[in-house]
Each structure stands twice: as structure tokens, then as C-alpha cells.
Amino acid sequence: MLAIWVKVKVKASMRDKFLKAIEADALGSERDEPGCLRFNVLQDEKDENVYYFYEVYKDQAALEAHYKTPHYATWREVADVLEGPLTATYAAGAIRRLGGPRWEWLRRLAYVIGLWPTAPTRCRPVFPAAAAYWGKM
């Protein structure tokens, strides 16, 4: 499996345009792609213009297939809504699983350079928004 954590900041005046495009991508990914196991969109509670995507794909082939879908194209067409570059983290899970003291230096380095957050980020679900999807909420 491949897990991706993406952070974007959206221009406030273009939030509605962003939400329409990312809704098509997130819901279309889970609905239409057998290799997409999860695609969640969350909004930061401290900054309403910051969003996080948590995506999980079966393998690299599934991720490559995602990039070729119409709903991904819809998302890419609205790149002008972003305020600055998006930030994606791919390797954190693999580094975190390395065991033993031999790899401790690499796990610490990953925290220092920000491959995954050291503290939880408070956010609320955007897509999918249905409480049943989230189970215990």
C-alpha cells in the first residue's frame, strides 16, 4: 500500500471552486478506482483555507492509474486556487516501520525535517462528510 498526506492552502476567494473540484476527485477516486482504498479531505480547524488530503492506494500502479482519471484532471485544472505549492509526504510510513536502534537516526531525522507531524492536527471532515463513513465519530 501507498499512503500520501497532502497539505494545500487555498485562496479564500476561490474556496468554492476548490471544493467542487476536490469533491469530484475525492469521491470519484473512492467510487471509481478499485486501487484507491481511501481518499479523505479534511479542513484545518485553525485556518479554514488549509486542507489535508489523506490518500491510500493499493500499489504504485493504482496511484499511476489515479493520475489518468477524469476526476483527477478536474482537480488539476483548478491549480490557480492554491496559495503556494502543495506539500505531499510519501515516505513517512516506510521510515516509521524500520525497527531497531540501527534505524533510530533515520526516524529522528524524518521528524526533524517534517516528513510527518510531531503533534496532531485538529481538523474536520469535508469529503466524505457522512458520519457513517467515519464510524465512531
pLDDT digits (tens, 9 = 90+) for 95-122: 445 555 655 555 555 555 455 555 566 7
For 14-66, the pLDDT digits (tens) are 999 999 999 999 999 999 999 999 999 999 999 999 999 888 888 889 999 99
- What pLDDT shows up at residue 14? 94
SS3 10: strand
> What pLDDT was estimated at residue 95?
46
First-to-last C-alpha distance (Å) of the chain: 25
Under 8 Å CB-to-CB from 5, ≥6 apart: which residues? 52, 53, 54, 88, 89, 92, 116
Q: Between 20 and 126, whose confidence is greater?
A: 20
Per-residue confidence (pLDDT) for residue 115, from 0 to 100: 53
Domains of the chain: which residue ranges? Answer: 2-131
pLDDT band for 93, please (50, 70, 90 cuts): low
CA–CA distances in Å: residue 66 to residues 57, 62, 72, 82, 130: 9, 6, 7, 21, 23
Strands 50-57, 123-127: pairing kind: unpaired
Q: What residues pair up with 111 in beta bridges, in sequence order?
A: none
Q: Which of 30, 33, 32, 38 is nearest to 56 (CA)?
A: 38
Q: Which residue has the higher pLDDT, 1 or 41?
A: 41
What top-level class would CATH report for the domain 2-131? Answer: alpha beta
pLDDT of residue 1: 79
